[in-house]
Chain A
Amino acid sequence: EAGVTQFPSHSVIEKGQTVTLRCDPISGHDNLYWYRRVMGKEIKFLLHFVKESKQDESGMPNNRFLAERTGGTYSTLKVQPAELEDSGVYFCASSLGGLRGYTFGSGTRLTVV
């Protein structure tokens, strides 16, 4: 079974530019989550999709962040315009339901310069 795949693994962009991160969950997993870890801090929840619907987006930092999940399959997280404080590792996770079997991707390391 393929795991959760994230692309790109690394991204370096200039302040003010736009970046789009992609997550492909495990096939058949209706639940998809985005988390972020900024330097020296804990991993923090951003949002949760059930199929194509946003179940909980209480962790999204501000309106520069836009998450979508087209057709309930892969998801994208767009940051526009990027700021220095957006640097960190963005993790995606998916699950069939509930918190058991919650599988993380390897993350996208975003650096804004």
Chain B
Amino acid sequence: GQNIDQPTEMTATEGAIVQINCTYQTSGFNGLFWYQQHAGEAPTFLSYNVLDGLEEKGRFSSFLSRSKGYSYLLLKELQMKDSASYLCAASNTGFQKLVFGTGTRLLVSP
């Protein structure tokens, strides 16, 4: 079976840092994706981790620990436009499909 867990909702203040955690239990795990989705829009790619460690891309960073089945997305210098849902998704070896968590709705307030 496959299971992805992430918090349902988080709130943060403009300019702050927020960390969104994701734990996964999947068979034949290959890599871990993070997507951002604004209401009514397409999920857009943020990051992909296949090896352990931190991947930094501007204000956004993503971390993966394969041994712990754990990932997080770190958002720095939060802006109002970062209010969105953040989706954690795992890919399995040999497949080209993604298994998603339910998403974390982030609300950034002034």
Contacts and interface: CB of A to CB of B under 8 A. Distances in A.
Interface of A: 3-4, 31, 33, 35, 40-45, 48, 55-56, 59, 91, 95, 98-107
B99 A106 contact: no
Given A33-B97, A56-B95, A41 B102 contact: yes
A55 to B, nearest CB: 7
A45 B99 contact: yes
Given A42-B4, A102-B98, 4 more contacts: A45-B99, A95-B96, A99-B96, A104-B44
- Highest count of chain A CB atoms <10 Å: which of B41, B96, B103: B96
A99 B102 contact: no
B43 to A, nearest CB: 5
A99 B4 CA distance: 18
Contact of B96 (A41, A48, A106): A48
Given A99-B31, A106-B40, A42 B101 contact: yes
A55 B96 contact: yes
Contacts, number: 56
Contact of B97 (A41, A59, A100, A105): A59
Nearest to A100: B48
A80 B89 CA distance: 30
A48 B97 contact: yes
Contacts of B23: none
Per CB-CB distance, the 6 closest pairs between chain A and chain B, nearest first, are A104-B42, A43-B100, A45-B97, A42-B100, A42-B102, A106-B42
Interface in B23-53: 30-31, 33, 35, 40-45, 48
Contacts of A101: 45
Contact of A104 (B30, B31, B43, B97): B43
Contacts of A44: 100
Contacts of B35: 104
A92 B92 CA distance: 19
A48 B98 CA distance: 11
Contacts of B101: 42
B46 to A, nearest CB: 12
